[in-house]
Amino acid sequence: MDILSKYDSQLVDAFWMTIKLTVLSAIGALVLGTILAGMRVSPVPVARWLATTYVTIFRNTPLTLIILFTSFGLYQALGVALAPKDSRNFIVDNNFRLAVLGLACYTAAFVCESIRSGINTVNVGQAEAGRSLGLTFGQNLRLVVLPQAFRSTIAPLGSVAIALTKNTTVASVIGVAEASLLMKSMIENEAAIFVIGAIFAFGFVVLTLPTGLLFGYLSRRLEVSR
């Protein structure tokens, strides 16, 4: 309890940073992953090839390497900054946004495959009916296929969201002050290693368990009848 009282404000800030990383990265990954899934089933061969290449590369590249590339590659080597350079908190804001970018790009590959599996469960007759009404591929995908595909992939997307929450710990490698960075600092300064580990394990359970329950409920509630 002494450790909790000593680090209470820092724990709140660290887990709030983890939540922000998760939410913003999830939104970016969902948008990019949906676009990639549409490209994977596109009638245009180049689009299919580009999306397949993207998914193959990012699914087989360690997340740590991707996060490091956003910092050392994009910012330090190429000079790409995602925050105003005249800002007082430039380093903190830039590292946070680079971490969000890396997490979103990495997670988008898994979102893409989840949505593509959902697209494959949609009855072919649904798409054919849309084409018979004169809908273009994009309209058919947006109005007919994707709404049904999303309902079929709620549970897999929930698993991806939980994995993303845990993957935010990698952001500490570029100095983002999320939960794992604070845990490392606490372990270096305190002797109660098992207590510290239990605190952070419980914190992540509190973050991920409601996510799993929510997506499980939505999956059952919105399941497409076959």
194: left (phi over 0), alpha (psi -120 to 50) or beta: alpha
Whole-number Å distance between alpha carbons of 66 and 114:
21
Residue 165 has pLDDT above 60, yes or no: yes
- Reported pTM: 0.88
Which top CATH class is 2-221? mainly alpha
Query: 224 pLDDT band (50/70/90 cuts)?
Result: low
Which has the minimum average pLDDT: 50-54, 66-70, 150-154, 196-200?
196-200
For residue 181, the model assigns a pLDDT of 75
What is the model's pLDDT at position 27?
A: 95
* Whole-number Å distance between alpha carbons of 118 and 40: 12
Q: Average pLDDT for residues 133-159, to the nearest whole number?
A: 83
Q: Where are the domains of the chain?
A: 2-221
Rg of the chain on CA atoms, in Å: 20
Residue with tokens 């299919």: 48
Q: Which residue has the higher pLDDT, 85 or 27?
A: 27
Which one is predicted more confidently, 115 or 182?
115
Which amino acid does the sequence have at 179? A
Query: DSSP string covering 115-132, please?
Result: HHHHHHHS-HHHHHHHHH
Stretch among 73-82, 104-113, 114-123, 152-161 having the lowest mean pLDDT: 73-82
Q: CA-CA distance, 81 to 94, in Å (whole number)?
A: 6
What count of other Cβ atoms lies within 10 Å of the Cβ of residue 75? 20
pLDDT band at 182 (very low <50, low <70, confident <90, very high): confident
Looking from the CA of 196 toward its CB, the CA atoms found within 13 Å total: 18
CA angle 71, 55, 102 (to 5 degrees): 20
Residue 211: Cβ within 10 Å count: 17
pLDDT band at residue 2, thresholds of 50, 70 and 90?
Answer: low
pLDDT tens across 54-65, in order?
999 999 999 999
- Written as six digits, the tokens of 40 are 């994977």
pLDDT digits (tens, 9 = 90+) for 14-27: 888 899 999 999 99
pLDDT at 1 over 60: no
Cα separations (Å) of 134 from 25, 40, 104, 122, 130?
A: 36, 22, 35, 19, 7
What is d(CA 87, CA 75) in angstroms, rounded to the nearest whole number? 16
